[in-house]
Every structure is written in C-alpha cells, then in structure tokens.
Amino acid sequence: MRYVKAIDLWNPENSNLVRSGKLLLQKGQWIKCGSDHLSRFVRILPCGTIHAAHWNGSGKARQERFKTLCGIGK
C-alpha cells in the first residue's frame, strides 16, 4: 500500500470514508486535523474514533507520541 498526499480528516466526507473502511489509511500516513501542522494516522478504534499523533511543539515530540500510540494495545 502506498502513502498518499495528506488527507484532511476535518472534512466530514473524508473522515466518514475512513471510518467506514472505504478509504484505507496506512499506519503513519500523514493527515490534516485542523492545524497547519500535519498529524500521523495510527488506527481506527472500535468505537469509531480516529487515533492519530498530533503536533506537540515539535516534530520530535509528535514522532515520540506516534511511537507510543503504535505500542498501545499490542
């Protein structure tokens, strides 16, 4: 599966496509969540919540959060 250009998940159509499984995102895919800074997609939780690592002051902090989120539930 290839990464695609960052998907704007604040667009309800896009987020609904992701939740329904009609738009599949790969773990680590860059996404937009209302900020100028990109976030990284982690997974869809069973309740339908989109799990992502967001900008937290630096790219390094976002990357560390991404690693932590990827390790949850293993």
3-state secondary structure of 34: coil
What residue numbers bound the domain in which 30 lies? 7-71
pLDDT value at 74 more than 80: no
DSSP lists the bridge partners of residue 53 as: 40
Whether residue 36 lies inside any domain: the answer is yes
pLDDT at 58: 94
- Residue-wise pLDDT tens digits, 1-51: 676 799 999 999 999 999 999 999 999 999 999 888 999 999 999 999 999
Q: What is the mean pLDDT of residues 47-69?
A: 94
Length of the chain, in residues: 74
DSSP at 63:
H
Phi, psi of 52 (to 5 degrees): -145, 155
Whole-number pLDDT of residue 73:
64
Secondary element (H or E) of residue 69? helix 59-71
The backbone torsions φ and ψ at residue 10, rounded to the nearest 5 degrees and listed phi first, read -85, -10
pLDDT at position 61 is 95
pLDDT of residue 4: 79
In this structure, is residue 23 part of a structural domain? yes
The answer to whether position 2 is within a domain reads no
